[in-house]
Amino acid sequence: MSIKVDIKNAMITGEEMSNIYTQIKLADEMLKNKSGAGNDFLGWLDYPDNYDKEEFDRLLDVVGNIQNDCEALVVIGIGGSYLGSKAIIDALNPFFVNELDGNQRKAPKIYFAGQNISGKYLKALYERVKGQNFMVNVISKSGTTTEPAIAFRVFKNLLEEKYGKEESKKRIFVTTDKARGALKSLADEEGYASFVIPDDVGGRYSVHTSVGLLPIGAAGFDIKAFMQGAKDQMDEINGDDSLDNPCYRYVAARNVLYRKAKDTEIMVNYEPEMTMLAEWWKQLFGESEGKEGKGIFPVSVNNSTDLHSLGQIVQEGKRNIFETVITVNNHEEDMIIPSDDNDLDGLNYIAGKGMNYVNTQAYMGTLLAHVDGNVPNIVLELEKLDAYNLGRLVYFFERACGISGYVLGVNPFNQPGVEAYKKNMFALLGKKGFEDLAKQLKGKM
């Protein structure tokens, strides 16, 4: 079912929506006819139709082998080579899944590495994985990103010590550029099975490519349904160029709000398994829109947890924020609140109710309070948290982000700003070629 976008609490007039509509339509046309900035990175746009079916079948085979042949898969990557698969796997997995033992599990444990530079984290993961029958999927479009490169070196060594060089080759799956980068050269040299990140798909738009599909499939989820969701969402957007199109409505609302000085968007969820979905969304919109001194700053809260930490500032702090709440209609699990003869905690008034009911009242009460506090709320309603609907949601946001970037007047497909920290880090680490910068930086320290 379609994703619904409700803007009745977004504090926007019909006139404001109509005024921005032409720009939304034009921006989407620029995407579709590939006439805008960054038009060499639009491979994701038709990907649900145009993906490489042979590679997909090969991926299904590999996923099946991973599931049969190992207890644990270490997925190495950062940013767009990490957040999407982590988001979908977290949203779909039962809680505490890695604590289930072998016969209670339908798929290997999935561990993530290379998404930080913490020695403590990597050491702990190394110790946890070394006694298990494990495999590795290393993902990097550039093939040169420092964080995953370090993690891969560590786990490659561990595999080779444990299984020997030849057997290790069967346990390593590489997802990278088809021709360039250190990882591609290494994969060719060693003969690792490789999957391609298409040239024209940037990291943050790559969840439906093998970047996302291999880990999501290995974790036991239906990647065909995930692709179908994207396809249906794409067809739906292409089939309606009016403001009834939920994707257009979301883009229109957030841009109207931005023009009214609401320059911070808070992605709100009420289910902890959606935490990482917001992290993926933050990269998507932050890297796409945050340039040339422009952009809506994307942040997220996990409620009701964060109502007890950030609730105060949302309700009464600087009025430059709006919220986008994601709600899910169908919850499969619930916990009924027990009754108690003594009722010393005073909870009997909700005894017999499900926690999902309580959570919904918390959501509605919060929304009304925040709107009273001058925080506009956009609500995105998802039918269900399953592979199909998540496939839809990912495409929905990708398309919304591409359109929104053009409405803002930026290239939504580059990220020049992330190079600054990398250069400084290389200089400070003493990498060859960064000697002059190292001198300058040391002078400032």
Ligand X SMILES: O=P(O)(O)OC[C@H]1O[C@](O)(CO)[C@@H](O)[C@@H]1O
Q: Which residues are catalytic?
A: 287, 422
**Which lies closer to ligand X via its Cβ, residue 205 or residue 226?**
205
Nearest by Cα to 422 from 408, 411, 433:
433
- Kindly state the smallest distance separating residue 115's Cβ from ligand X, in Å: 10
**91, 3, 79: which is closest to 288 by C-alpha?**
79
Q: What is the DSSP string of 1-48?
A: -PPEEE-TTS---HHHHHHHHHHHHHHHHHHHTT-STTGGG-TTTSHH
Listed in sequence order, the residues at least 6 apart from 195 whose beta carbon sits closer than 8 Å to its beta carbon are 55, 58, 59, 173, 174, 175, 176, 210, 214
The least CB distance from residue 198 to ligand X, in Å, is 13
Tell me if 247 sits within 8 A of 237, measured CB to CB.
yes
Buried b / exposed e along 84-105 (16+ C-beta atoms within 10 A): bbbbbbbbbbeeebeeeeeeeb
Identify which of residues 138 and 375 has a Cβ nearer to ligand X in the complex.
Answer: 138
- Alpha-carbon distance of 152 to 173, in angstroms, equals 11
| Smallest gap from residue 87 Cβ to ligand X (A) | 13
Query: 140 with 104: CB under 8 angstroms?
Result: no
Q: Which residues bind ligand X (CB under 6 A)?
A: 78-81, 140-142, 145, 148, 203-204, 287, 415, 418
Residue 105 Cβ vs ligand X, minimum distance, rounded to whole Å: 29
Smaller CB separation from ligand X, 115 or 377: 115
* Residue with Cβ nearer ligand X (183 or 378): 183
| Type of residue at 431 | K
CB 172, min distance to ligand X, A: 16
| Integer Cα distance of 215 and 107 in angstroms | 11
Largest CA-CA distance found in the chain, in angstroms, rounded: 75
Residues 6 or more apart from 85 whose CB is under 8 A from it? Answer: 75, 77, 207, 211, 212, 214, 215, 216
Which is closer to ligand X, CB of 358 or CB of 437? 437
Sheet of 109-113: strand order equals 109-113, 72-76, 134-140, 172-176, 193-196
Structure tokens at 312: 């105060």
Residue whose token pair is 């998507």: 284
Minimum Å distance from CB 215 to ligand X? 14
Q: What are phi and psi of 8, to 5 degrees?
A: -70, -20
Q: Nearest 5°: CA angle at 267, between 113 and 86?
A: 20
Nearest distance from C-beta of residue 22 to ligand X, angstroms: 31
Name the residue nearer to ligand X (CB basis): 285 or 363: 285
What is the nearest approach in angstroms of ligand X to the Cβ of residue 197? Answer: 7
Q: How far is the CB of 397 from ligand X (least distance, A)?
A: 15
Question: Strand 377-384's sheet: what is its strand order?
Answer: 4-6, 377-384, 321-330, 264-269, 297-302
| Alpha helices (runs of H) in 182-245, residue ranges in sequence order | 182-190, 210-218, 223-238
Q: Which is nearer to ligand X, 158 or 425 (CB)?
A: 425
